[in-house]
Amino acid sequence: MKFGGTSIQGRRGVERVASILSSGGPGTVAVVSAMAGTTDALLEGAEAAVAGRPGLDQAAAAVREEHLRVAQDLLGEGELDSFSAYLGAVISRYRAYGALLAGASSDARRSLEAASSAGELLAAAILAASLRGMGVSATAVDAARLLVTEGHPWAAEPLVQESGELARGELLPLLRDGTLPVVTGFRAGTAAGQVTTLGRGGSDHTATVLGAVLAAAEIWIWTEVDGILTADPRLVAESRLLPEVSYAEAIELSYFGAKVLHGRAVPPAASAAIPIRIKNTMHPDRAGTVIEARRPGPGRVRAVTQMEQACLLTMTASPGAGLNRLAGEVFSAFADARITTLMVTQSSAEQVICVAIPAVELTAAREALLPARFLLAVDIKDQVSVVVVVGEAMRGTAGIAGAMFGALGEHGINVVAISQGSSELAVAAVVKRQDVGDAVRALHRQFGLAGPG
């Protein structure tokens, strides 16, 4: 069971999570994110230190005070004393990272990960202590010791074999003793022992990797909404719950920005055929969404999602290079740098390839393109969003792209580019960022997603 930052926020949040866990039955492993806002605060402080600006001490003090306040409200004397000592140590280490980071080069990205994932250590410690206060045997476990990763900062990939051995070695004996492990989400480590992270929102991924290597019966993601909805409820008030979603649909939705699940979280569960359930922490009695293998139903749109902060890169091939050579170069550079390509279109007449990527990956994408030999020019539009309709078995369903164009056109929304995803589970369109809310609402209505059933 994984609990997100909003679920575990404040005294009430920790109590609610502890009460769900205490009735969870034997054999439960908990995974927790940092309390909401903590990762942002820690990251801002550490980034300020890298840039030589003040801000580190302020972040350290704010995070310290917030956690101390919750602990004081929640814990008995003995637990409070040991938590306070631990809090002091974690915050000192955070400030030490900050001092080392001051003026550091781009290599500092690893240390930023270690610094900004301290919130998970604190959330796991507070939750475990409060469970013990309720008479539940529980212990906090740092996933930096369980998940061995390789790859890029902020997008480390767990090595299944090594992580599996470590996780089983540490967690199964605890479960056998009737102790509930409370594992830090987000955090992982390299084989050499450096702390890494699974990227922003990556605690979902922690949960599915652990679920897979422990051969869990189910993986439950507890969050602040009822489950996977037909659209982001922040944009579409009349979005509806989807009681069942296939692994393939969930992969598409999370890949294209549906924040309810991290983009890399589904595959570990899908390969092990373990169902993922999304549940609302505030309403544990509600069924939520179950994600599992499903036979494709009739091809139709099931949800609309958006990557709000996106960029569109239009790349022109050098004279005589040809589009294939440019494409080969660009996509292998993007693959090495783990760039998320949201959509791709090309024009052979103009010898251009257009790629939409998440805005947060723009700097990495620019760096990846620096050595490109077949690239003549790049034009970057950085104020765009990608809106995507998703549904299993849309393959062969004529007219989805047409209906999409039509609905957007009717609302006066200009479509910058459109493409069918390679999986044929998704059709994506690029729109101006200012139009993204209207575009998602127009598509939600066009495909009848608010309707009954």
Kindly list the residues in this chain that would bind ligand ASP in the complex (CB under 6 A).
4-5, 33-34, 39, 119, 185-186, 200-203
**Cβ-contact 115, 94 below 8 angstroms:** yes
DSSP secondary structure letters along 326-384: HHHHHHHHHHHTT----EEEEETTTTEEEEEEEGGGHHHHHHHHTT-SSEEEEEEEEEE
Residues 302-341 that bind ligand ADP (CB under 6 A): 303, 305
Q: How far is the CB of 304 from ligand ADP (least distance, A)?
A: 8
Q: How many residues does the chain have?
A: 453
Residue 391's binding partner, choosing from Mg ion, ligand ASP, ligand ADP, none, with beta-carbon cut-off 5 to 8 A by kind? Answer: none
10 near ligand ADP, rule: CB under 6 A: no
> Which residue's C-beta sits nearest to ligand ADP?
4
Using alpha carbons, select from 311, 206, 308, 305 the residue that is nearest to residue 258: 305
Q: How far is the CB of 233 from ligand ADP (least distance, A)?
A: 6
Q: Is the Cβ of residue 185 or residue 275 nearer to ligand ASP in the bound state?
A: 185
- CA dist 413 and 236 (Å) reads 17
Q: How far is the CB of 238 from ligand ADP (least distance, A)?
A: 13
User: Quick one: how far is CA 452 from the chain centroid?
Assistant: 30
> Which residue's C-beta sits nearest to Mg ion?
201
Q: Which stretch binds ligand ADP (CB under 6 A): 219-227, 386-394, 410-418, 433-441?
A: 219-227
- CA dist 119 and 125 (Å) reads 10
- CA dist 280 and 185 (Å) reads 18
Q: How far is the CB of 42 from ligand ASP (least distance, A)?
A: 9
Q: How far is the CB of 160 from Mg ion (least distance, A)?
A: 22
119 near Mg ion, rule: CB under 5 A: no
x/- letters, 185..224, toward Mg ion (CB under 5 A): ----------------x-----------------------
Using alpha carbons, select from 206, 138, 226, 208 the residue that is nearest to residue 177: 138
- CA dist 447 and 304 (Å) reads 9
Q: Name residue 232's amino acid.
A: D
Chain residues that interact with ligand ADP, rule: CB under 6 A: 4-7, 33, 201, 223-225, 228-229, 231-234, 258-260, 303, 305
Chain residues that interact with Mg ion, rule: CB under 5 A: 4, 201
